[in-house]
Amino acid sequence: MSRAPASVLVVDAANVVGSRPDGWWRDRAGAARRLHERLLVADLPHDRVVLVLEGAAKGGVPAGTDTHVRTVHAPRDGDATIQAEARAAVEAGATVTVITADRVLRGRVEQLGARAMSPGWLLDLMG
C-alpha cells in the first residue's frame, strides 16, 4: 500500500510575528516562544512544521524538534534558510506550504514547487 506524501509547513516566524502589532518588537524571543507554543497545540492539516527563527528570536526557542514542530535557527538570513528547508522537503516528495509575506521569497519557493501562503492565513487557521 503506498503512503501519501508528507505535508510540511515551513513558517517564516519573523513574518508571522510581525504581522500583528502586539508589541512583539520589545521581546522578539518571547514572541517566537509564543508562536512556537501555538504551533505545538494547533490542529493543523500538516504532518510536520518547520519554524525558522532568525536574530534575537532564536533566544526564545532552542533549535530542535518538539513533537511535530522542528525549530531551525537561521545562521544568517531567514529567507535563505526557509528556501533551503522548502527545497529539501519538496525534493523528499513532501507537499510543502511556506508561510511568508515576502513576495520575493514567495516566488522562489513557488518555483521549487511549494505553495506560499500569508501569515494571516496561518493565524486564521490556528484560531
Pair 76, 60: CB distance under 8 Å: no
9-39 pLDDT tens trace: 999 999 999 998 888 889 999 999 999 999 9
Q: Helix, strand, or coil here: 67? A: coil
Each domain of the chain, given as residue ranges in start order, spans: 7-126
50-101 pLDDT tens trace: 999 999 999 999 999 999 999 999 998 899 999 999 999 999 999 999 999 9
CATH architecture, range 7-126: 3-Layer(aba) Sandwich (3.40)
Q: Could you give the residue ranges of the DSSP H alpha helices within the chain?
A: 13-18, 28-41, 78-91, 103-112, 119-126
Q: Find where cell 508562536 sits.
A: 35
- Residue 35 burial (C-beta neighbours within 10 Å; 0-12, 13-18, 19+): buried
- pLDDT band at residue 4 under the 50/70/90 scheme: low
Q: Which three cell numbers stand for residue 114?
A: 511549494
Q: What is the pTM of this model?
A: 0.94
How many angstroms separate the CA atoms of 95 and 5, rounded?
6
